[in-house]
Structure 1
Amino acid sequence: MDRRSLAWLDFQRPGYNHHGQTRSNISPPRNNLISNQDFGSEFAKLGCKSTARVWTLMSKNSGFTLIELMIVVSIIGILAAIAIPAYQGYIIKTQTNRAVGELSAYKASFEERTGSGGSVANNDIGYNPSNLTNGVQAVNIGTLNPDGSGQLQVTLGGSAHPNLTGLILRFDRDATGKWECVVDNTAASSWKSSYLPSGCRL
Structure 2
Amino acid sequence: MKASLGFSLLEIMIGVGIVGVLIAVALPQYQDYMIRTQVTLIFSQLSGLKMVVEECLARNQMGDACENPASSSDLLANISANGQVSEGAGTPLINVNSTASSITAQFGNHAVSALTDQTLTLYKMQNNNWTCAFVGEVKYMPRGCTTSSNPSQ
Of Structure 1 and Structure 2, which has the larger fraction of its residues in strand? 2
The match for 1:87 among 27, 30, 47 is: 30
| Percent of matched pairs sharing the same residue | 28
1:36-63 CA distance string (max 9 Å, x none)? xxxxxxxxxxxxxxxxxxxx432xx222
Alignment: residue pair count: 137
The match for 1:143 among 95, 102, 110 is: 95
Moved >6 Å (runs of 4+): none
Highest Rg: 1 or 2? 1
**Cα-Cα RMSD:** 2.1
Q: Distance in 1 between matches of 2:65 and 2:47?
A: 14
Match in the other structure for 1:133: 76
Match in the other structure for 1:196: 141
- What's the TM-score once normalised by structure 2's chain length? 0.79
Secondary structure of 1:68's match?
Answer: helix
CA change 1:121–1:57 in 2 (3 A) is farther
- What's the TM-score once normalised by structure 1's chain length? 0.61
Q: Report the CA distance between 1:90 and its aligned residue.
A: 1.3
Indicate conservation of the 8 Å contact 2:104/2:121, yes or no.
yes
CA change 1:164–1:85 in 2 (3 A) is same
Unaligned 5+ runs, structure 2: 82-91, 149-153
Q: Which segment drifts farther, 93-102 or 154-163? A: 154-163
Unaligned 5+ runs, structure 1: 1-55, 186-190
Of Structure 1 and Structure 2, which has the larger fraction of its residues in helix? 1
* Structure number with higher relative contact order (C-alpha < 8 Å, ≥ 6 residues apart): 2
The match for 1:71 among 6, 14, 18 is: 14
Secondary structure of 1:124's match?
Answer: coil
Q: Report the CA distance between 1:164 and its aligned residue.
A: 0.8
AA in 1 matched with 2:21: I
